[in-house]
Amino acid sequence: MSASLGIAWRWSQLFLALVVLVIEWILREVITLFFRIIPVPWRTEWEDPKHAEDPNCERGTLEYVEAKGYRTEEHFVTTPDGYILGLHRIPAPSSHTISKDGADDEGKAGVGASQQPLPLRPVLIIHGFMHSSEAVTIRQRESDSLPLVLREAGYDVWLGNNRGNKYSHKHIHKRPTDDEFWDFSMDDMARYDLPTMIECVLSRTGAPSLTLIGFSQGTAQAFAYLSSHMTTKVNLFIALAPVIVPRGFANSVVDAVARARPDFIFLLFGKRQLLPFTLFWRNNLPRSKFVQLIDLSVKFLFGWDTACLAENEKTLLYSHIYSHASVKTLVQWFQIIQTGKFQMFDDYKSSNVSSGSGSDRYPGYVLPQYQLGQIRTPVACFCGGRDTLPHTDDIIDAIPKDKRALVHMEPKYEHLDFMWARDVSTRIYPKVKTLLSKYNSGKEEDSCEL
C-alpha cells in the first residue's frame, strides 16, 4: 500500500470512529427522552436491589464484604497533590492467631488445631484501568474472591482505589466537573497514589512492609513505582495479568484510533473522565443485554471470548466492570503503544505545539522510561496463554532474574480471567497464598519458574 493510500485508510478509520461516537450519543439522548415519557419495567432491577436476581450487583465493596460476615474499615488518605483516596480494609482477626493449616481464629477451618500468634501481615491490592476495588472483590462465591480468600488465610487485606474512580472522586481544591481534576495519568498514580496508600497501610498496621498485588494497569502502576524507588516497604509484588506495553487492538478501527495524535483522542473523548456513558447503558439496558454488550466489546477490542468466565456470573461481574478514569491515562497508554516503550506521559506531543518537520526522524527530546531492570523487590508474574494484551516475554525478560519469585503461565487464561475465571480459586489462589507465606515468614526461598 502506498503512503498516500495508507494515510487515506487511517483517516477513514478515524472518521468512522467519530461517526460511531456521534451515533452512540444520539441514541443515548433518544433513549433518555423515551424513558422520561414511558417507564420501562426492567429498570426496576437496577434501581432497587430488592428486585435484582443478585443483590450484590448493586452493593459496593464494603457492603459486599460485610454481607459475607466480615468486619470492614474505610480510610481516606490525601496525596501530596491533593486527591483524596478511599482505602478499604478487611482487618485480620483482633487476636490474629493462625492455625497450622493456615486458617485464622475466625475462619472456617482449623478448629481445635494448635495456634500461634503472628504479627499483622498486610496485603495491598490495586485494581486495573477503569476499575475500582469492587472488580477485584465481588464474586458470587466467597471462595472466588481473592481479598476474602486472603483474609481467611489470616492476612490484613487492604483494597486501593486510584484517583478519579467512584471511591476516590474527591480533591481538596478541584471539582470533578473541572478539566483540571482529570489532568492526571498513570505517572501520577505511580508517583503519588501508590506511595500514599502504602504509607497509610504501614502506618495503620505498624508492619515494616507489605505484599503488593496488582491486576492489569495495577501491575504497570506498581512496576513504575518499584523501578523508581529503592524501597524495602514492599516485600513481594504479585502481578496478575501484567502489562507494560500493550500490543494494540484486535479491531483495525480502534487500533487506528490508538495510533492517532493525542489531540484527536481528546477531541473524541474530551478531557475529563473516559466513557462515562458506560454507566448510562449499565443502568438502562436489561441486565442480559448489558452482558451481551460487554461480551461484544471485549471481543471487538481484544478478541477475547471469555470462555473461562461462568455465564451465570457475568451479570454480577459486569455490574462492577466500570469506574471513572481519565482520558489522559488512556492517551498515555496509546503513546506507549505507539512507541513500544514503557515511558512517562509525553506532554509535548499532547500539546498543539509542532516540533517541526524533522521531529519524527530525529526527536529533540528523550522521555524517561520505567526500567524494570532496576527493580529490587521480588516479583511474581501470573500470565495468560490467551491474553492478547501484553507482550508477556518482554515483561519477564525485563525483570532481573534474581528478583523473579515466580513465573506462572496459565495456558487457557485471557486477561480478565485472573480476576474472574470460574476456576481461579484452584488454579491461581493457592500459588498466591504459597508466595505470601514464603515472603511474610522471613524465609524467602529461591525463585522458580513454572
Give the C-alpha separation, 122 to 102, whole Å. 15
The Cα-based distances of 104 to 110, 148, 439 in angstroms read 8, 12, 18
The CATH homologous superfamily of the domain defined by 3-108+115-351+368-441: Alpha/Beta hydrolase fold, catalytic domain (3.40.50.1820)
Taking only the tens place, the pLDDT of each residue in 259-309 is 888 888 888 888 999 888 888 878 888 888 899 999 999 998 999 999 999
Domain definitions of the chain by residue range? 3-108+115-351+368-441
Do residues 242 and 223 touch, judged by C-beta distance below 8 A? Answer: yes
Contacts 24+ apart (CB under 8 A), 9-12: 10/256, 10/259, 10/260
Which three-class secondary structure string do you get for 158-199?
EECCCCCCCCCCEECCCCCCCHHHHCCCHHHHHHHHHHHHHH
pLDDT of residue 282: 87
pLDDT of residue 14: 56
Q: Are strands 379-384 and 404-410 parallel, antiparallel or unpaired?
A: parallel
Confidence of residue 441 (pLDDT cuts 50, 70, 90): confident
415 catalytically annotated: yes
Q: Which of 99, 133, 168, 216 is catalytic?
A: 216
**For residue 110, is it left (φ>0), alpha (ψ between -120 and 50) or beta?**
left
Confidence of residue 4 (pLDDT cuts 50, 70, 90): low
The Cα-based distances of 297 to 133, 170, 300, 304 in angstroms read 22, 30, 5, 9
Taking only the tens place, the pLDDT of each residue in 161-207 is 999 999 999 999 999 999 999 999 999 999 999 999 999 999 999 99
pLDDT of residue 112: 39
Taking only the tens place, the pLDDT of each residue in 343-372 is 999 988 766 544 444 445 666 788 999 999
pLDDT of residue 354: 46
Amino acid at 104: D
User: In a 10 Å sphere around its CB, with 0-12 CB exposed, 13-18 middle and 19+ buried, how is residue 107 labelled?
Assistant: middle
Q: For CA atoms 200, 201, 205, 208, give the dihedral sign.
A: negative
Place of cell 422520561: 36
pLDDT of residue 442: 60
Please determine, for residue 3, whether its predicted confidence score (pLDDT) is greater than 60: no
Q: Across the chain, what does the average pLDDT equal?
A: 85
Give the C-alpha separation, 149 to 141, whole Å. 11
More confident residue, 61 or 365: 61
Q: For CA atoms 249, 251, 256, 262, give the dihedral sign.
A: negative
pLDDT of residue 445: 47
Q: Which of 88, 169, 324, 415 is catalytic?
A: 415
132 catalytically annotated: no
Q: Which of 156, 188, 346, 387 is catalytic?
A: 387
101 catalytically annotated: no
Taking only the tens place, the pLDDT of each residue in 99-135 is 434 444 444 433 334 455 567 899 999 999 999 999 9
- Report the largest interatomic distance among the alpha carbons of the chain, rounded to a whole angstrom: 77
Give the C-alpha separation, 316 to 313, whole Å. 6
Give the C-alpha separation, 76 to 86, whole Å. 5
pLDDT of residue 137: 98
Please determine, for residue 18, whether its predicted confidence score (pLDDT) is greater than 80: no
pLDDT of residue 93: 80
Please determine, for residue 448, whether its predicted confidence score (pLDDT) is greater than 80: no
Nearest to 248 by CA among 418, 391, 426: 391
DSSP code, position 367: -
Please determine, for residue 394, whether its predicted confidence score (pLDDT) is greater than 50: yes
User: Which of these ranges, 13-17, 151-155, 243-247, has the smallest mean pLDDT?
Assistant: 13-17
